[in-house]
Amino acid sequence: MRMSKAEFARYRGVTGAAVTKMVKTGRVVVGADGKIHRDTADNMLDGDVHVPDEKQHRDQGAPDLDVERARKMKADADLAELKVKEAEGRLIPLDVIKRADFATIRRWRDQLLGLADRISPKVAATTDERECNAIIDDETRTILNEMAAGVDYGRAADKASDE
């Protein structure tokens, strides 16, 4: 539903000057016809910025400018949210995660490749099949348990970002 600034002011229970200020600061979008799309404005003011369906707006005769402004406001809000999450340490850049994963997988690979060198002297020193099996099994389980312990992404990310 489209409303004049005065109608919107009465609807929201604010003064006309307050609505004018909302329009000037970009908190409320006014169409080319000078009217406010009530649902879009409510969403913007309530912090739930929703990009209106472009086809629906065209069918109602609303200009594309309203839709584009709403899209920009949503994109700005999304970007601000990402920046806050990054500042709080809840968002780690993808390249840092990739470096941490690479370092972890490389460490696991090196442990597995070194398995034969570590256990071959012990296995060569024994003639009992069960004892050979136990040596191989113990070392393999040690490596697998280290892998299963997981990755501390906080520590790994710090280490990767220092590189």
If you ran DSSP here, which 8-state letter would residue 15 be given? -
CB 130 within 8 A of CB 65: no
C-alpha torsion sign, points 99, 105, 107, 113: negative
**What is the per-residue pLDDT for 155?**
54
Q: Parse the chain into domains and list their residue ranges.
A: 2-87, 94-162
Measure the CA–CA gap between 34 and 17, rounded to whole angstroms: 15
| Per-residue confidence in pLDDT tens, the chain, 163 aa | 788 889 988 988 888 888 888 888 777 878 778 888 888 887 777 764 444 555 444 555 555 677 777 888 888 888 888 888 888 888 888 898 899 889 888 988 998 999 999 999 999 999 999 999 999 999 999 988 888 886 555 555 555 555 5
**What is the per-residue pLDDT for 113?**
93
- The total number of residues written for the chain in this structure: 163
Q: Which runs of consecutive H residues, i.e. helices, occur in 14-93?
A: 16-24, 38-45, 54-59, 64-87
**What is the per-residue pLDDT for 27?**
78
For 112, 121, 127, 140, 156, the CA distances from 130, given in Å and listed in that order, are 22, 16, 9, 15, 39
Q: What is the pTM of this model?
A: 0.42
**What is the per-residue pLDDT for 20?**
87
Retrieve residue 154's tokens. 């906080």
